[in-house]
Structure 1
Amino acid sequence: MTTVSASTDAVPAHPASARADWRDTLREATDLALLGFAVALAALPVLTLAPALATASAALHDRSVTGSWPDARTSLARFGRALPAGLAVSAVALAAAALLAADLVALATGRVPGGGLALALTAVVVAVLLGYAGLVAVAVGRTGGQGWRAAARRVARACPERPGVWAAAAGICALAVLLGVLVTPVAVPILGGYALAALHALDARRPVPAPDPS
């Protein structure tokens, strides 16, 4: 009578899947907070806001693709390359933001007729534009922090095709602005890092194309 012995090698071992614990979550939250402070520090001259955002967006893209942050030398080099075009982008964006803010203040204080409806419509327009700008920043990060004009065109074509993503991006940016008004000023850079990370996570949820029936 032959005895069949079961070998332990016959059934491959299934290692337990790695699960993120509270330390990984805390580390990730700390990294995003530091990223926000780095953006705020680099944006102190005001016109360097766009290059700072582009560099941070590129770092977040690297983090999502490779699982690690770029080193300081890479980020500094990206920031330097982003400066020429980024200065012009910052000037245009800040001018538009100032005009929209003045419009909102004028409507809220009653200096411009229109009432609550006009104020609400203007707030929605501002949120939609912020969502578009946030998605452009994400697209710039996917190209190493450069190519603002090309990124703006790509996002302008993609937003009507993905209205849900556009609306969600607008919600993220509007919530970040609202919380930025309510919290202490020292926490505003932290909100910026979290909002940019949320925009990257949102944009990464691309729809999977349906298979060709043929």
Structure 2
Amino acid sequence: MSDTEPRRDWRDTLRDATDLALLGFLLVLAALPLLTLAPAAAVASAAVHDRITNGGWPALRTTAARFTRALPTGLTASAVALAVAVALGADLLALAAGRVPGGPPALAVTALVAAALTGYAGLVVVAVGRTGGRGWRDAARAAARTGLDRPGTWAAASAVCVLAGLLAALVTPVAVPILAGYALAALHAVARPLARVVTP
């Protein structure tokens, strides 16, 4: 920390926590029609990216413009994500109930695939947030490159998504939006490239 940077105290931490909780509520509210899930996540991710890189949240006008621009392609991304989630959820429920053959090994493999896909989706949301909430195809490619080049990042993103899902099932429904804001911030934290250590 340099001498020119103001020292952060507990009030700054509390302000950040409150801002993330509010962001989570806005994200869930914007995603309520379900097909607006991807545009809402993209815009919220862009807001977190702005907060991390610029030190401040974007203006309301900027956020509204980003949401409007994200709607056309985001609706398709939402439909694809929801279809994959429904298919995986149906597979997991059928395997857990014993309605399809495979038993515990098939259930474990399907759960691992689901966790890996949610981690990949989390990396896509972070990547699309870095471009202001646009460019889903480019974000999907960037997330795939990140996952292949840095598998630890992919595993960490998967862990964040799985933990958020488990906590969402355990907390009261009113706390789920707060969890959404924190999970998005955690995804940005684990997806940040690590500084390379240069040895002499």
TM-score under structure 1 length normalisation: 0.88
The gaps in structure 1 that reach 5 residues or longer are 1-13
Normalized per residue, which structure has more helix?
Answer: 2
Aligned to 1:119, the other structure's residue is in SS state helix
Larger radius of gyration: 1
Offset of residue 210 of structure 1: 5.8
Alignment of 1:117-196 (within 5 A): 117-196=105-184
Amino acid at match of 1:182: L
Amino acid at match of 2:55: G
Offset of residue 160 of structure 1: 1.2
Aligned to 1:47, the other structure's residue is in SS state coil
Q: Residue in 2 aligned with 1:10?
A: none
In 2, distance between residues paired with 1:66 and 1:121? 41
Amino acid at match of 1:69: W
Q: Residue in 2 aligned with 1:25?
A: 13
| 1:154-181 residue CA offsets vs partner (Å, 9 max, x unmatched) | 2112211100000000000000011111
Aligned length: 199
Offset of residue 16 of structure 1: 8.8
Aligned 8 A contact 2:146 2:153 in 1: no
Amino acid at match of 2:63: S
In 1, distance between residues paired with 2:65 and 2:184? 21
Q: Residue in 2 aligned with 1:34?
A: 22
Aligned to 1:42, the other structure's residue is in SS state helix
Alignment of 1:84-99 (within 5 A): 84-99=72-87
Cα root mean square deviation, aligned: 1.8
Aligned to 1:70, the other structure's residue is in SS state coil
TM-score under structure 2 length normalisation: 0.94
| 1:26-64 residue CA offsets vs partner (Å, 9 max, x unmatched) | 111110010000001101111000000000000111111
Q: Say which is worse superposed, 29-38 or 198-207, in terms of deviation.
A: 198-207
